[in-house]
Amino acid sequence: TYLGALQSFSMYEPRYVQVPTDEHGLIPEALTPKLTAGARLLYAQPNFQNPTGRRLPVERRRALAAFAKTAPFPVIEDDPYGALDYAGEPLPTMLSMAPDHIVHLGSFSKVLAPGLRVGYIIAPEELIFKLVQAKQATDLHTPSFTQRIVHEVIKDGFLDTHVPTIRELYRDQCAAMLNSLERYMPEGVTWNRPEGGMFVWVNLPAQIDSMKLLAEAVAQNVAFVPGGPFFANEAQHNTLRLSFVTVPPAKIDEGVARLAALIRAKL
């Protein structure tokens, strides 16, 4: 799961319980009373999950929204990537299915600018008051100045033209990365084919530790995020996250070729 979420939760020293997942994301049937006993919240990313790029199918969203209606704890829908949908088929949010039971997190980081640090929460009214208190205790408030900048930029519909532009750009870069992976990666390396978001999640042969691989890759001007820190409990160190959003297709191709050569040398 998203390592930034793990970092913020870890300050409260929780005991993490992982919900089983497959290539479509979280498996709602796995949320048995035994698994969730004593839970304080459930954290989920239905859209193009960080780091795997997976998207939760609509039936699973319905099941999770139904679960949220009876669960004695809030279900968090962290959704910064929902607008970056390359398949052209946006799926309904869980918020729309259970508005009184879902805490929905949104962000302007992925569609406007991460440096502005402006995002938002949609939550049941009784929770909002507590969240405002928690936010005040953390940083007093998000600067009014950056909030006003976001308001000025988007109030006349800027995002309606900007989002399709970046969607097209990222869709092409995603396709380029998938082509390059196909072309260069040796047998034994697998990856997913995301329908949106920013990431491709790569599984390496079990003996390769992506943390060690990173140093060698950086020496060749190739960067990725090792997969280990994205695990709440037992880390799988033979995983890594690639991002296709910041460099053009020709550089993606060269980067994947260099990475593949390093991996091939370890087989």
Ligand X SMILES: Cc1ncc(COP(=O)(O)O)c(C=O)c1O
Q: Give φ, ψ of 18 to 5 degrees.
A: -85, 135
Nearest distance from C-beta of residue 184 to ligand X, angstroms: 27
Nearest distance from C-beta of residue 109 to ligand X, angstroms: 3
Lay out the sheet containing 190-191: strands in order across. Answer: 190-191, 199-203, 239-243, 225-226
With CB under 6 A as the rule, give the number of residues binding ligand X: 10
9 lies in the site for ligand X, by CB under 6 A: no
Residue in 25, 31, 46, 50 binding ligand X, rule: CB under 6 A: 50
45 lies in the site for ligand X, by CB under 6 A: yes
Residue in 21, 36, 109, 146 binding ligand X, rule: CB under 6 A: 109
Nearest distance from C-beta of residue 119 to ligand X, angstroms: 4
d(CA 151, CA 101): 28
192 lies in the site for ligand X, by CB under 6 A: no
d(CA 103, CA 208): 38
Q: Which residue type does 111 have?
A: V
Residue in 52, 53, 75, 78 binding ligand X, rule: CB under 6 A: 78
Tell me whether residue 118 or residue 256 sits nearer to ligand X (CB atom). 118
- Residues whose CB is less than 8 angstroms from the CB of residue 193 and which lie 6 or more positions away in sequence, other chains included: 178
Q: Which of 83, 87, 97 is nearest to 28 (CA)?
A: 97
80 lies in the site for ligand X, by CB under 6 A: yes
CA 56 to chain centre: 12
146 lies in the site for ligand X, by CB under 6 A: no
63, 28 contact by CB (below 8 A)? yes
Q: Is the dihedral of CA 230, 196, 57, 93 positive or negative?
A: positive
243 lies in the site for ligand X, by CB under 6 A: no
57 lies in the site for ligand X, by CB under 6 A: no
119 lies in the site for ligand X, by CB under 6 A: yes
Residue in 107, 173, 210, 238 binding ligand X, rule: CB under 6 A: 107
Cα–Cα–Cα angle for 58, 63, 65, nearest 5°? 90
Nearest distance from C-beta of residue 53 to ligand X, angstroms: 11
229 lies in the site for ligand X, by CB under 6 A: no
Q: Select the span of 58-66, 107-115, 166-174, 258-266 touching ligand X (CB under 6 A).
A: 107-115
Tell me whether residue 64 or residue 208 sits nearer to ligand X (CB atom). 64
**In a 3-state reduction of DSSP, which class is residue 105?**
strand
> What letter would DSSP give residue 186?
P
Tokens of 129: 């008051």
d(CA 46, CA 75): 12
Looking from the CA of 96 toward its CB, the CA atoms found within 13 Å total 8
Q: Select the span of 106-114, 182-190, 234-242, 246-254 touching ligand X (CB under 6 A).
A: 106-114
Tokens of 33: 């009373």
114 lies in the site for ligand X, by CB under 6 A: yes
Nearest distance from C-beta of residue 263 to ligand X, angstroms: 25
Under the rule (CB under 6 A), what is the footprint of ligand X?
Answer: 2, 4, 45, 50, 78, 80, 107, 109, 114, 119
